[in-house]
Amino acid sequence: MNTTHQVIGKRQQQALTDPVWIRYGLITIAMAFIGLFLFLPLAIVLIEAFAKGWTAYFNALSNPDTLSALRLTLLTAFLTVPLNTIFGIAAAWAITRFEFPGKSFLTTLIDLPFSVSPVISGLIFVLLFGSQGWLGSWLSAHDIKIIFAVPGIVLATLFVTFPFVARELIPLMQEMGSEEEEAALSLGASGLKMFFLITLPNIKWALLYGVLLCNARAMGEFGAVSVVSGHIRGLTNTLPLHVEVSYNEYDFVGAFASASILAGLAIVTLILKSILEWKQSNA
Amino acid sequence: MRQSKIMPGFRPALGYTLFYLGLVVLIPLSTLVFKSFQLSWQEYLAVITHPRVIAAFRVSFTTALGAATIASFFGFVIAWVLVRYPFFGKRFIDAIIDLPFALPTAVAGIVLATIYQPNGVIGKWLMAWTGIQIAYKPLGIVVALIFISIPFVVRTVEPVLQEFDTSMEEAASSLGATRFQVFTKIIFPNIFPALFTGFALAFARGVGEYGSVIFIAGNLPYVSEIVPLMIITRLEQYDIPGATAIALTMLIISFLLLLIINLLQMWIRKRSGQL
């Protein structure tokens, strides 16, 4: 009797856990894939950037075109991230705190930019503001440049990063409910006081998470910006566009030096993202 | 949800949301539809059925399909390993999975092209041992899209695996199922909707991807030219109606795909009874 029990117990255990060879086989496959597709590219960025030594690397970075590309990238993020953050908070407030017809349709519309190809996201602004576009003749008559200029880059970036903050906040605020906010209001708090003392502290980690993702995309966007920028050196090249221009001119150290800044940004984003995920799960 | 009478800010919040949505998203997107009205039906068809455009659509859809399929396999294995097995450095590995989301696509593009070109780190090796060239061929597009696709699959499968109720596995095994049966009859059917969602998201993203692809693709007309590049080429030739027609077609196909995916998912959920 004892032995049959042991046999059944052993068989059950086998049906619940994977055999050792499968376990190690799968771990090996996963690690090989991650090494090949994720770690190797990161390593190659640094190897290529320093291929001709430190001086070449720092010369490439201190090139005026690189610096102006970096400035434009920072400026774009500085303008787009706050605008989309304010929108995200307003949209999440309207959608999660009130009932109105067409709510789920509105939620779908907010996610729309994610399903549009980056190139199309740029094209639509050319159709609107370009020389053959709707407002093209009016704009050129008033000497306002949007396409092949900084405003076009900002607009295209606004479009591609549009949903990030809203889509982090909506599920969280839905789940949170509004009891705490209602309590504050019924105790006489003003709307603004309730928002800054109750709502904002409750959503801060999710909000920062959305801002982080929005910022990473705003600084790294390539396709949409490439369509509207016109690639004017020192004027309308963002850092990702500068990477492309340098690479196509066979200036590999220059391309990878700029790429190393963007890779650094990606790594910082991943680290902050892990910290925020940890904060959120412990909140 | 209970409608709250005392909650403030409904009108300003909704008003601003609609205003900003219209200004940044809806008005710009609508230009695509209105601009294409400038073409007659015949002119539109002539643009779309041009052999080079058809070839670009074929390249974009087949490479995205291939990449999403391969990424689904490896993504599933990675999610499984991350959820089920303890090993050293798991948190670190888990964080790096999102690299393709965080790394600008242009950087991914030049790095992958450098690695897989005939004298690159992997390209040289592959050339010598198998004679296969990846960069500047359609295979290069597939490699770039696998890179882009992997987090979509891992991040949709991982939470479902995590919340998977192991008591079902225990019940099956106590009734005498082998590990293979437990996996094929219990685990996989329950994970499948999530895996399919990951696959579909990766596919939809892959079709429109531009930055990571153009450096490695070689961009040879009829062979390795993708639809987004086709749109840019038309734009650079000042053929704005042509670019618009191709873009609108692609947008409609992606929306139809999303619709089909959503319907399929509802159907799968209903069938497996996890509404």
Position A141 scores a pLDDT of 87
Pick B208's closest partner by Cβ from A117, A128, A273: A117
Q: Residue B12: inside a domain, yes or no?
A: no
What ipTM score was computed for the predicted complex, to two decimals?
0.90
Can you tell me the mean pLDDT for A114-123? 93
Position A12 scores a pLDDT of 61
Quote the number of domains for chain B.
1
A91 vs B contacts (CB less than 8 Å): 13, 17, 21
Distances in Å between the Cα of B110 and the Cα atoms of A208, A237, A267, B39, B65 are 30, 17, 18, 37, 23
A·B CB contacts under 8 A? 282
Position B21 scores a pLDDT of 96
- Across chain B, what does the average pLDDT equal? 90
The CATH number of whichever domain residue B47 belongs to comes to 1.10.3720.10
Position A11 scores a pLDDT of 59
Position B180 scores a pLDDT of 86
Report the 3 state secondary structure along chain A.
CHHHHHHHHHHHHHHHCCCHHHHHHHHHHHHHHHHHHHHHHHHHHHHHHCCCHHHHHHHHHHCHHHHHHHHHHHHHHHHHHHHHHHHHHHHHHHHHHCCCCCHHHHHHHHHHHHHCCHHHHHHHHHHHHCCCCCCHHHHHHCCCCCCCCHHHHHHHHHHHCCCHHHHHHHHHHHHHCCHHHHHHHHCCCCHHHHHHHHHHHHHHHHHHHHHHHHHHHHHHCCHHHHHHHCCCCCCCCCHHHHHHHHHHCCCHHHHHHHHHHHHHHHHHHHHHHHHHHHHHHHC
A12 vs B contacts (CB less than 8 Å): 170, 173-174
Give the chain B residue nearest A105 (alpha carbons): B18
Position A14 scores a pLDDT of 66
Flag if B4 and A119 touch (Cβ within 8 Å).
no
Position A9 scores a pLDDT of 61
Are A239 and A262 in contact by the 8 Å Cβ rule? The answer is: yes
Can you tell me the mean pLDDT for B264-272? 74
Residue B1 binned pLDDT confidence (cut-offs 50, 70, 90): very low
The pLDDT > 90 percentage for chain A reads: 69
- Across chain A, what does the average pLDDT equal? 90
How many angstroms separate the CA of residue B119 from the nearest CA in chain A? 14
Can you tell me the mean pLDDT for A188-215? 93
Q: Residue B15: inside a domain, yes or no?
A: no
Does the structural domain A54-282 have CATH classification 1.10.287.3610? Answer: no
CA B142 to chain centre: 12
Probe site for chain A from B103, B168, B185, B251 (most A CB atoms < 10 A): B103
Per residue in B98-143, pLDDT tens? 999 999 999 999 999 999 999 888 989 988 898 888 889 999 999 9
Position B229 scores a pLDDT of 95
The CA distance from B275 to B271, in Å, is: 9
Can you tell me the mean pLDDT for B242-259? 90
Residue B165 binned pLDDT confidence (cut-offs 50, 70, 90): confident
Pick A15's closest partner by Cβ from B6, B87, B173: B173
Place of tokens 């061929």: B137
pLDDT over 50 at A235, yes or no: yes
pLDDT over 90 at A94, yes or no: yes
The pLDDT > 70 percentage for chain B reads: 96
Domain around B204: 39-271
The CA distance from B98 to A171, in Å, is: 21
Pick B16's closest partner by Cβ from A90, A95, A115: A90
Could you say which DSSP state residue B24 is in? I
Give the chain B residue nearest A252 (alpha carbons): B110
Probe site for chain A from B57, B110, B166, B238 (most A CB atoms < 10 A): B110
B24 vs A contacts (CB less than 8 Å): 155, 158-159, 162
Model-level pTM? Answer: 0.91
Flag if A220 and B105 touch (Cβ within 8 Å).
yes
pLDDT over 50 at A127, yes or no: yes
Flag if B211 and A118 touch (Cβ within 8 Å).
yes
Per residue in A239-248, pLDDT tens? 999 999 999 9
Q: Residue B187: inside a domain, yes or no?
A: yes
Q: Where are the domains of chain A?
A: 1-49, 54-282
Give the chain B residue nearest A7 (alpha carbons): B176
Are B111 and A44 in contact by the 8 Å Cβ rule? The answer is: yes
Per residue in A5-59, pLDDT tens? 555 566 566 667 788 888 899 999 999 999 999 999 999 999 999 988 999 999 9
Q: In this predicted model, which residue has the larger pLDDT, A4 or B54?
A: B54
The CA distance from A125 to B29, in Å, is: 8
Q: Residue B25: inside a domain, yes or no?
A: no
Q: Residue B2: inside a domain, yes or no?
A: no
Q: Residue B23: inside a domain, yes or no?
A: no
Can you tell me the mean pLDDT for A99-122? 91
Position A1 scores a pLDDT of 43
Q: Residue B6: inside a domain, yes or no?
A: no
A101 vs B contacts (CB less than 8 Å): none
Probe site for chain A from B17, B81, B167, B214 (most A CB atoms < 10 A): B17
Q: In this predicted model, which residue has the larger pLDDT, A97 or B165?
A: A97
The pLDDT > 70 percentage for chain A reads: 94
Q: Residue B211: inside a domain, yes or no?
A: yes
Per residue in A128-170, pLDDT tens? 998 888 888 888 888 888 888 999 999 999 999 999 999 999 9
The CA distance from A155 to A256, in Å, is: 27
B176 vs A contacts (CB less than 8 Å): 11
Could you say which DSSP state residue B125 is in? H
Position B5 scores a pLDDT of 66
How many angstroms separate the CA of residue A171 from the nearest CA in chain B? 14
pLDDT over 60 at A4, yes or no: no
The CA distance from A111 to B92, in Å, is: 30
Can you tell me the mean pLDDT for B1-10? 69
Can you tell me the mean pLDDT for B25-42? 90
